[in-house]
Amino acid sequence: MSNENKSIHEFDFNLICEYYSGVERQGPGSPEVTIKALSFIDNLTSKSHIADIGCGTGGQTMVLAKHATGQITGVDLFSDFINLFNFNAEKLNLQERAKGIVGSMDNLPFQNEELDLIWSEGAIYNIGFQRGLNEWRKFLKTGGYIAVSEASWFTDERPDEINEFWQDAYPEIDTIPNKVSQMQKAGYIPVATFILPENCWTEHFYAPQVKVQEAFLKKYAGNKSAENLIASERHERKLYYKYKEYYGYVFYIGKKI
């Protein structure tokens, strides 16, 4: 496999963390999209408990905290991200309502039926869409909601180059009707589904990375791992622009029955 085709999990962990600590978001999304997804959730009160799983540095969590009532617990595997999360919460004076903790999505520190809402943008792929929907369900109260964004195919067929890229990066990528059906089978009413607009990738995800990439290549001149990471990010971005009519991120919102 050429370096160009390396997927992100094969790179040095610390380098990836440092790279993504430099941008507000670690996955495609936007404040508008977070607010839109939240508009389908109708069970929240000031006593609600929300979990944001794979919260990263908390870009979307802070938007949630501003627009939803209740307490939010952000969970992420990487302590550097959680430190930034809690720093950001304080900066915005949201520290009483949004707290970040280090933890893994396959071993979450919640009680059964404790949560009113599970949020997860661009992160459920780490455990897998179906496994996440199934395993996280027990933490939700009956009538509670789950809102996750997930890479999805827009068409039944697509060119080999992009198909192979995703089969290597995340073989669980699937079409929207298949994902909706998986959500229903996992015990949720599929309340809403919508495709994230392109600016979630271009403006909010890829554009802020340009500066970070330049600084990174300067700082780590001659470091093969760093150079490969940047080459891989740039390759992924190029593929997005070339094939964006075939795939993207989709929000899936379900209600536990």
Residue with tokens 């997860």: 120
**Of 81 and 201, which CB lies nearer to ligand SAH in the complex structure?**
81
The verdict on 77 binding ligand SAH (CB under 6 A) reads yes
Other residues' Cβ atoms within 10 Å of the Cβ of residue 13: 10
Report, in Å, the least distance between residue 241 CB and ligand SAH.
20
In angstroms and rounded to an integer, the radius of gyration of the C-alpha atoms of the chain is 18
Report, in Å, the least distance between residue 118 CB and ligand SAH.
12
Contact code string over 111-130 relative to ligand SAH, x by CB under 6 A: ----------xxx--x----
DSSP labels, 122-179:
S-GGGT-HHHHHHHHGGGEEEEEEEEEEEEEESSS---HHHHHHHHHH-TT-EEHHHH
| Token duo for residue 199 | 């600016």
**Of 55 and 94, which CB lies nearer to ligand SAH in the complex structure?**
55
**Of 184 and 195, which CB lies nearer to ligand SAH in the complex structure?**
195
The stretch near ligand SAH (CB under 6 A) out of 42-50, 73-81, 175-183, 196-204 is: 73-81
Burial code of 21-39, b = ≥16 C-beta within 10 A, e = fewer?
bebbbbbbbbbebbebbbe
Q: Which residues bind ligand SAH (CB under 6 A)?
A: 25-27, 29, 54-56, 59-60, 75-78, 81, 104-106, 121-123, 126
